[in-house]
Chains A and B, each alone.
Chain A
Amino acid sequence: MKNFRWFVPTLYILFLMAPIYWLLNMSFKTTNEILGGFSLWPKDFTIDSYVEILTNPVWYNGYINSLSYVLLNMIISVSFALPAAYAFSRYRFLGDKHLFFWLLTNRMAPPAVFALPFLQLYSSMGLFDTPLAVALAHALFNIPLSVWILEGFMSGVPKEIDETAYIDGYSFPRFFVKIFMPLIASGIGVTAFFVFMFSWVELLLAKTLTSVAAKPIAAVMTRTSSTAGYELGLLAAAGVLTIIPGAIVIWFVRNHIAKGFAMGRV
């Protein structure tokens, strides 16, 4: 029994990889070969789709736009959530539990209909079609999530550390940056990972709040089916390229995540 334990995760990972392999397979085929019939690997191997994406500004600007609002959102979410999470983990105050629950409810609103008021709101603030608009809109669900995760990590740090620092004459901001933040570094790593994840994958709001200048890659992809016919090869290559930033991020934070997990609650 014990020797077969690796079997379950292996099978699961194979199941996870199958559609990704298929996408990869398609991305190296010509459109004609894709539509021509079923084949397990590309017979007519080509990297034309990738060349097209990496040389055409419409395509690669999509990546730059997506990455810029995701990074902006990471900075906003983590820096706003840090003091709030500290407050929730250290103090009791009037209405704290209700505030916490209210923050969590912001993940529950169906974005489908709320997209329209969002569009109006950011247009009237003059932010429409900028990465900042998308970054602020994504803060709606990423800040509550960051507060939740960071609060868990902060509760794991003994309160005596704060008190000792205050006795030693540290001011609150100096204590927070110099002593407290290094202690929860892996918590910040884990938070950044989840924030990146939910901002990178969201499309509905990102697409609604942009038109040309800040159009995200995922929205550029929907173009292939409308104007240029159904270019499956190009679509597959663009899809593969959207997986790569995520994969890089996981690789960088994998140790933080393992450590963060060992510290307890996520």
Chain B
Amino acid sequence: MDLSWMAWTWQTAAFFIFIGLAILAMGLWEKIEPGGAPRHGVLGLDTTRGDRLFISLLGSAYIHLGWLAFTGAPLWGATIISVVFALAVFRWV
């Protein structure tokens, strides 16, 4: 089957591999050391680890978009903020 129409680049491939590994890692983590019942975080939401991963990823997408919309600076600035954001989400949300 010819798949050249999917127009892969190594950058996007790396991106999807990262997402896949993140989900896999969450599954393994849950298997080895169950996270248990959802906890009540600072936002007033009950979240499990999976929810926190989702919030981190969605938030990172918005941080990157906001960075593109409001600054002209290189994108890795947004990536740093995203990592900090994700750590904060896993710690407190």
Chain A positions near chain B (C-beta within 8 angstroms): 94-95, 97-98, 117, 120, 124-125
CB distance from B5 to the nearest CB of A (A): 4
Q: CB distance A124 to B27 under 8 Å?
A: no
Complex: A124 Cα to B3 Cα, angstroms: 8
| B50, A98: Cβ atoms closer than 8 Å | yes
Shortest CB-to-CB span from B51 to chain A, Å, is 8
Provide the residues of chain A in CB contact with B48, threshold 8 Å. Answer: 97
Q: Given A98-B50, A98-B54: A124 and B2 within 8 A (CB)? A: yes
Given A97-B50, A98-B54, are A125 and B1 also a contact pair (CB < 8 Å)?
Answer: yes
With the chains together, A97 CA to B1 CA distance in Å? 34
B29 → chain A closest CB, angstroms? 11
| Chain B residues in 8 Å Cβ range of A120 | 5-6
Docked CA distance A97–B51 (Å): 9
Among A98, A117, A125, residue most surrounded by chain B Cβ atoms (within 10 Å): A98
Query: Within the complex, which residue of A94, A95, A124 is in contact with B1, where a contact is CB–CB below 8 Å?
Result: A124
Cross-interface CB contact of B5 among A97, A124, A125, cutoff 8 Å: A124
Interface of B is mostly: helix
Q: Is the CB of B5 within 8 A of A95?
A: no
A243: min CB distance to chain B, Å:
38
The CA-CA distance from A120 to B1 in the complex, in Å, is 11
A124: which B residues are within 8 A, CB to CB?
A: 1-3, 5
| Interface residues of B, count at CB 8 A | 12
Contact of B27 among A94, A97, A117 (CB under 8 A): A94
Which residues of the other chain, B, contact A95 by a CB distance below 8 angstroms?
27, 50
| Set of chain B residues within 8 Å of A117, measured between Cβ atoms | 5-6
Closest to A99 in B: B50
9 A-B pairs with the lowest CB-CB distances in the bound complex, closest first: A120-B5, A98-B50, A124-B1, A124-B2, A94-B30, A95-B50, A94-B27, A124-B3, A98-B54
Closest-CB distance, A104 to chain B (whole angstroms): 13
Inter-chain contacts of B27 with A (CB < 8 A): 94-95
Given contacts A94-B31, A95-B50, A120-B5, 10 further A-B pairs with CB under 8 A are A94-B27, A94-B30, A95-B27, A97-B50, A98-B50, A98-B51, A117-B5, A117-B6, A120-B6, A124-B1
CA distance A117 to B2 in the complex (A): 13
| B1-24 Cβ-contact flags toward A at 8 Å (1 or 0) | 111011000000000000000000
Contacts of B6 in A (CB 8 A): 117, 120
- For B51, the chain A residues whose CB sits under 8 A away are 98
Interface code B40-83, partner A: CB below 8 Å = 1, 0 otherwise?
Answer: 00000000101100100000000000000000000000000000
How far is A124 from B2 in the complex, measured between Cα atoms in Å?
6
* Residues in A neighbouring B30, C-beta threshold 8 A: 94
- Docked CA distance A120–B6 (Å): 8
A94 to B29 Cα, complex, angstroms: 11
Contacts of A98 in B (CB 8 A): 50-51, 54
Selected A-B contacts with CB under 8 Å, 19 pairs: A94-B27, A94-B30, A94-B31, A95-B27, A95-B50, A97-B48, A97-B50, A98-B50, A98-B51, A98-B54, A117-B5, A117-B6, A120-B5, A120-B6, A124-B1, A124-B2, A124-B3, A124-B5, A125-B1
